[in-house]
Amino acid sequence: MRSASKTNLNKQNDMKAVFDFSKWVVDKNITFFFFISFFIIKIPLMAQETVLDEVVVSSPRIELPADQQSRSVTILTAEEIEDSGAATLIDVLSDVAGIELRSRGAQDVQSDIYIRGGGFDQVLLLVDGIKVDNPQTGHHTLNSLIPIEMIARVEILKGAAGRVYGQNAFSGAINIVTKKPSTEDLKITLSGGSFAYQKAALFATDQRELSSHTFYAENISSDGYRYNTDYNNQNYLWKSSWETNLEPIELLASFNNRRFGANGFYAKPENTEQYEATQSSLLGVSTSIYRNPSLRIQPKIYWKRGQDEYVFIRSNPSVYRNFHITNKLGGEVNTTWEHKLGATGIGFELARISIQSNNLGEHTRTLVHGYFEHRFENNLWDITPGFSVSHYSDQDTFFYPGIDFGFQISDNSRLFFNSGYTYRIPTYTDLYYSDSSTLGNEFLLPEKALSTEFGFRHRQSNWKLSLTLFQRDAKNYIDYVVLEGDERWQATNIDQILSQGGELDIVVNITSNKFSMGYAYIKDDVDGVSTALSRYAINSRKHHLSTRWTLKWSPYVTSSLSYRYSEQDSGYHYDVVDANIAFAKARIKLSLSAHNILNAEYTEQNLVPMPKGHALLSLQYQLY
């Protein structure tokens, strides 16, 4: 328990945080954005009505429409992704309040994802509900991203909502739902742009009486925006569905191959000759069994493989080279039963995880995971208690309970509260990595946290608003610090990090135009380490604002303009403006996107300078 003096100091710090936030609002003219947001909210009362579609969320184990969730859930639909003009999902996720994407180059060459100030190892990524986490390091999480042409929607869960998934959903989880073809289609996309950027992609679907099939392939390359930042990436995805006498069976297979110059990406910024090549493979088979309308059983089996080669001097690999291969073979069964007492969700997962590495060694672990939750509800309120249990053969057994409350104020407004425990075991890099600048620690303790949030959602026919306040009390937080007498960054457990903040999301549809704004504020209170000595834990964005205007000029022409502002606790800040315009008619779609059009000089990760203004031109032709 903290002492009284410590409590008083925290109160003073809280007051200082409020003052700092107020001063920042004035200094950065954020009042202008809030005024515009308030003004825009009033406009729909007089504007032509445009209905916002409802989406059923499959990420939480008990499927519910988004507006009935008592958790922080954000949905990005395929239409929203397409209208944004984004070339990759990274650009789209950057618009979501509470999510930080920190890149080390252009066009998603290498990026890390953070949710509510948590680390890149603390976010779980799923594809069609299959966990694609990498036990080597969270740096490879986004290697498994699906091309936006194949995405039906993205479901983002923040805070304690991710507890049902167990490992890696420490700060949240992101589930990418891939498209199911409804018609036969064949599209070819050719793109070119700054830094000798080239892209060629093929999208094809085959619809038959008892089966459907989708195939996507793309090759992307560039000479790079500065020395040794060239890249050559390939992405392949196959999805098939067969109707059987029992239940439909779905097959998902993907392969991502990335090779890129990593000038200053890792180690020290002056290490300009680094090079990396990664692969990410996924094979999954799943089905849904309906014993009756109220009982749904969803079994799946999967194999996830990762490969990573790192070379310190690209032209001379013999100086220093790391090579890692990870495998995860698993299966799970999730069951939802709706009955007169509510809805019950039960699930079980079994997985075998291994790594072979010339640096980290060879290790194998077995994971057994299970969860239970039950939703009680009536016309006004709902309560969902639940818990998860995970056992790792080389770590320990973890039990983490949680509870969600929801209250329907009116048909359009909802209050919600949830609280629960999450955890993360150390990655193999945390435990065993060693080089001249970094040292792992095989005695690390697993991270654990109690996350709590209180939120409000309001939805009209053509606008919606979400406001959330949250707190995460993390213990044994894993970070890399410089210990006395040692010049290397060493993996260490930090006593405690108390993260508090808030998020505001506004989406407004006015006739055929759309405005969205997301703002997040985070304050970290850290015990046990100095800010100057922390490598990852104490560099969250204190302020993060993103806005996007999407305008429909005619039935054929759509444009979008986005603005993003980020500021760290140290005061370092930057803002970036992107724009896109697209023309689509009949079988042709032509789009032009411009990134960082104001030529902002900024870095997002490891002092790697991001590219200044650059543009991409894309032509898509639909053969049939």
Is 15 within the bounds of a domain? Answer: no
Under a CB-based contact definition with an 8 Å cutoff, are residues 321 and 310 in contact?
A: yes
What's the token pair of residue 281? 């493979």
Residue 32 lies inside a defined structural domain of this protein = no
Average pLDDT of the chain? 86
**What share of the chain has pLDDT > 70, as a percent?**
87
Helix, strand and coil content of the chain, in percent to the nearest 5, comes to 15, 55, 30
Which pLDDT value is given to residue 325? 98
CA-nearest of 489, 520, 501 to 454 is 501
Range of the domain at 70: 47-622
| 458 burial type by CB count under 10 A (0-12 exposed, 13-18 middle, 19+ buried) | middle
CB atoms within 10 A of CB 529: 19
Number of domains within the chain:
1
Say what the pLDDT of residue 624 is.
83
DSSP of 582-609, one letter per residue? EEEETTEEEEEEEESTT----BSSTTPB
In tens, the pLDDT along 96-138 reads 999 998 898 887 788 999 999 888 899 999 999 999 999 999 9
50 contact partners, CB below 8 Å, separation of at least 6: 461, 462, 509, 510, 511, 512
Query: Do residues 91 and 210 lie in contact, with contact meaning Cβ atoms separated by under 8 Å?
Result: no
Q: CA nearest 105: which of 324, 332, 258, 312?
A: 258
Q: Which residue has the higher pLDDT, 607 or 200?
A: 200
Tokens of 309: 């080669």
Q: How far is CA 187 from CA 153, 296, 421, 589, 619, in A?
A: 20, 35, 45, 10, 10
Q: To 5 degrees, how large is the angle CA 200–CA 201–CA 203?
A: 160
Considering the domain boundaries, does residue 176 fall inside one?
yes
Rounded CA separation 502/470 (Å): 6
Pick from 365, 371, 428, 353: nearest CA to 395: 365
pLDDT surpassing 90 at residue 440: yes
Residue 53 lies in a domain: yes
Tokens 């056992």 appear where? 391
Residue 350 lies in a domain: yes
Q: Is residue 28 part of a domain?
A: no
Residue for token pair 């202008």: 32
CATH number of the domain where residue 404 is located: 2.40.170.20
Q: Is the pLDDT assigned to residue 573 strictly greater than 90?
A: yes
* Contact assessment for residue 486 and residue 464, using Cβ atoms and an 8 Å cutoff: no
Could you tell me which of 536, 520, 510 has the C-alpha nearest to residue 118? 536
**Does residue 29 form part of some domain?**
no
Among residues 281, 283, 265, 263, which one has the least CA distance to residue 273? 263
Position 500 in a domain: yes
Residue 324: what pLDDT? 98
Q: Pick the range with the lowest mean pLDDT from 63-72, 354-363, 388-397, 576-585.
A: 63-72
